[in-house]
Amino acid sequence: MDKILEAVLMSPHSKAVKQGMVKRVTESAAQPLDREQCTAMFNVATKLFLLGESQFKRDAGKEVLEAFAHHHQGEFEEFFNARFVLDLLQQGYVPLGKRSPQIFDYLQVGLRYVAESPSSADFFHLLQIEVLRIICERPGPELCARLARLLSRYPQSVPSGNLQTVFCQQLIQTIKLFHCQCDAEDDVVTFLEHVTKTSGMLQSVWRTNVTSILPSLKELFIVISSPGGSIVPSNALASVVQFVPLEMMEGVVRNLTNEKNISDAQMLTALCRMMEWLSWPFTKNTDKWIISLMKGVAAVKKFAILIEVTLTKIEEVFSKLFYPIVREGALSVLSYLLLSFQQSPEAFHLLLPQIPQLISALSAEESDTAKHCLTQLLELTHCLLFRFPGFPDLYQPVLELIKDLPVPSEGRMKLLLSQNAWEPQKTDQVSFCHRLRPKSQTGKTGLVNLGNTCYMNSVIQALFMASDFRHAVMSLKYCDLLPLMGKLQQLFAFLEHSQRPAISPDSFLAASIPAWFNPGSQQDCSEYLKYLLDRLHEEEKRGSQKTRTSSSAAAADEKGTLIKRMFGGKMVTRIRCLRCHNISRREEAFTDLSLALPPPNHSLERSFIISPSQPMVETIAASLDSNKGLDHTLSSGTSGEQTRTSEASLSVPDLINFFLSPEMLTGENKYHCQKCSSLQNAEKVVEVTYGPHYLILTLLRFSFDLRTMRRKKILDNVSIPLVLKIPVRVASREPESIGPGNVGSESSTEGSAYVSMTYDLGSVVVHSGLSSESGHYYCYARECDGGASEKQSDRDADAQMSGPQRTSENQWFLFNDTWVSFSSFESVTNVTTHFPKDTAYVMFYRLRPSQHAEAERECILDAHKLHGGKSLDKELSEAITKDNTLHLQVSRCPFDIFPICVFHLVGCLENINTS
């Protein structure tokens, strides 16, 4: 019968004839047969099952085998013996190789009829050893899936005892080699199914033997933490962790992060590869394991690892949000990365170019997952815009896209930002554990934020960009007698010559912070600037007294300190009693002018009545109207300057005019007249009598709210002129001696005249936020060296408002802590329009050089002498060279040892700072 069956199936007869033959043969299986007949039928059925060219022949072989094994179980046990099975697994079925998946399907059928036999224990023990051997030979995903089905049907075949742990570890080593070689959708789906069935073998073992889970996970970590080579671990390993009970997560992570034998490079590699698992579909809990492990690394304060993982992988994680099948896990991990990485905006900025595209894609996709993802993405975006203000040019495209979409409350944003942020850490590690990005294309160097120190960073960058002051500081000698000035010189030198993208000003912060400032808290940058200039001024005065004779000290005092020469101005306050008309006069020095914003509906049309003469001040439009005295709508500058518009109801000249306008002292504010010996109504006027080389203007934007008992911020948009002209009262002299084109008018009674002094805008410190106790400072600045003619400056102003042309003086830069970028005067003028919480706070103006002004010429000549002075101190120059060399070495370190290089760098920098 066996030969007839084989002949019919191999013949060209129709399928119906063949099916009829198979039916008759299987029906005859119940008849008594001798041993040889049974063996013959088992052989032909096995041959058809394993070697059949078509699925029909293989199914026919299976059907015949099952029928005869069922009715002749004893004979089948003799045929399907341990030796036969061992030969199948080790040698295959000629010509079928041992790796054929058909063999495991055949074994599954055969085991059904011997599983209950007396010798089954020995049989399955043999299978356990063979299963382990097969896994150690690293079979492919299809063969593993067939094996998984076999073990699922006959769990007695799973290795037992200590071999179970070895089996799990070797299975992980096998899965790491799985790679899909096809792009067709059906092939990919089949590959995913094979992997799922294979990893399911781990689940079967772990359910019955919990003790094998930890050794298996340790093997998994070894696999994903090994250095990259020719074999990259497959993302199919993501299917493994979904079967680990979540209640074990905390203990597993704690063991890994506290294991001394695991290096930082290994942990870094493992986390990066786990990030790649997010592209693996149909798995659960991958995101939970990634986040848990990152939290564990943060708990042991290995922040360099987290920083590198975030900056390396965040764009890859973000890209997965475009695919619904993996979107949920990717969104969870992305949220953690962005909300935990709050030391720098770098991670967020990497995503900014891609956010508009994703928002558009999610908005067009009509699905619940897309709507949820869009809501979460918008919330994340607003949180990070709130956390990292000061990048108006960068943020404008995104804000324009989301302006009509829901905005979370400030309380909600603060809550999200506070939940996942890494704990405060050593400032040096925050400073230098950033991935070593190249220096800004601007060539400028940023300053590291050491914990709410943006108030200092913005002031330092504004002072540094005041080129005359910078050159003077860097050319000073005997700085060992001027400790604070010496540290400023060192900081300026590093900003000028460092190859780093940013440097840490920790040493200068420690030396310059006012005693009443609370470290780590936000402070008022104007208050800090005044304190710093005062400290530097007093220090230089004391240093001069120690090193000079009495005569030379007197001469030096008359000339003034560097701070006085650069920032010192003078003003006179005159108060006239309206009863006896007596005028009191008080002169005082200033380093900045604090300009209050006039109250609503305040009229600037006020008479200037101290002097009966009419002062003259040049403006761009025309000279002042002699019938109105000092015009309190004084315009400024050039065609590029900002005047009152619907967007900016006030301008800086308006505030200066308000500052200079007469103030009536009446009621509770009456003036005590010494001549009348009583309180009298009076009029007070402030006049600038000496214009400083650098004019610092501070807008008094913070007022005390009696209702909330807190300082609140005035958010009025104030337009900033590129060129500013202020009236200065000077002793009587020829008008042309004041400067080119300036007009003077002598006073018949005072022996003085008003002149217009021209200043060019050099830098603007912007405050972002709603109160002085919170928010962020950043700085716009340009190199304002002077020396240009007025007409040339006017042309530069036009160029900045109308085109991208760049010159040394019309190129603006944006300094935001470690970040420095190119910007424009247009960005300066529009910042409050686009970002209402971002308002100009402190401005630096540089006096335009005048060929004939005596005081001005003296200051410029002093600065030029300093420019041509001796080069940097040798010790300071060597320190910069050493630091640049160290930076170059670390920037070239291999990826896998980056954290080690960073921590070595921190130690070296500590030594440099100490020395």
Residue 893 annotated in active site: no
- DSSP state, 848? P
Is there a contact between 731 and 752 (Cβ–Cβ < 8 Å)? Answer: yes
Q: What angle do CA 697, 703, 707 make, to 5 degrees?
A: 175
> What is the CB-side half-sphere exposure of residue 682 using CA atoms within 13 A?
24
Q: For this structure, is 454 an active site residue?
A: yes
- 45, 61 Cβ separation under 8 angstroms: yes
Secondary element (H or E) of residue 272: helix 264-276
Distance (Å, whole) CA 334 – CA 331: 5
Instruction: Tell the residue number behind the tokens 């109207």, with chain if given.
Output: 625
The whole-angstrom separation of Cα 818 and Cα 779 is 12
d(CA 31, CA 72): 10
Q: Choosing from 693, 776, 779, 784, which is the catalytic residue?
A: 776
CA distances from 149 to 65, 155, 167, 172 (A): 20, 10, 16, 17
Contact 863, 471 (CB under 8 A): yes
Q: Which ranges in 388-482 belong to alpha helices (H)?
A: 392-402, 410-420, 427-432, 454-465, 467-474
Reduced to 3 states (helix: H, G, I; strand: E, B; else coil), residue 691 is: coil
Q: Write phi, then psi, for 608 (nearest 5 degrees).
A: -105, 100
φ/ψ region of 141 (left if φ > 0, alpha if ψ in -120 to 50, else beta) reads alpha
Exposed, middle or buried: residue 535 (CB in 10 Å: 0-12, 13-18, 19+)?
A: middle
Residue 763: helix, strand or coil by DSSP?
Answer: strand
For the chain, the first-to-last Cα distance in angstroms comes to 99
Q: Which residues are paired to 365 by β-bridges?
A: none
**Residues 454, 779, 784, 859: which is the catalytic one?**
454
Q: At what angle do helices 141-153 and 185-208 cross, to 10 degrees?
A: 40
Tokens 């990485």 locate to 341
Q: Nearest 5°: phi and psi at 577?
A: -70, 130
Where is 727: in which H helix or E strand?
Answer: strand 723-731
Strand duo 593-596 + 694-700: pairing: parallel
Distance CA 507, CA 514 (A): 14
Radius of gyration of the chain (CA): 41
Tell me which residue of 339, 377, 386 sits closest to 358, measured CA to CA.
Answer: 377
What distance in Å separates the CA atoms of residue 750 and residue 752, rounded to the nearest whole number? Answer: 5
630: Cα separation from own chain's centroid = 50
Question: Dihedrals φ, ψ of 699, to 5°?
Answer: -85, 125
3-state secondary structure of 601: coil
How remote is the C-alpha of 851 from its chain's centroid? 48
Neighbours of 316 (CB within 10 A): 14
Using CB atoms within 10 A of its CB, is residue 787 exposed (0-12), middle (13-18) or buried (19+)? Answer: exposed
Q: Which residues are catalytic?
A: 454, 776
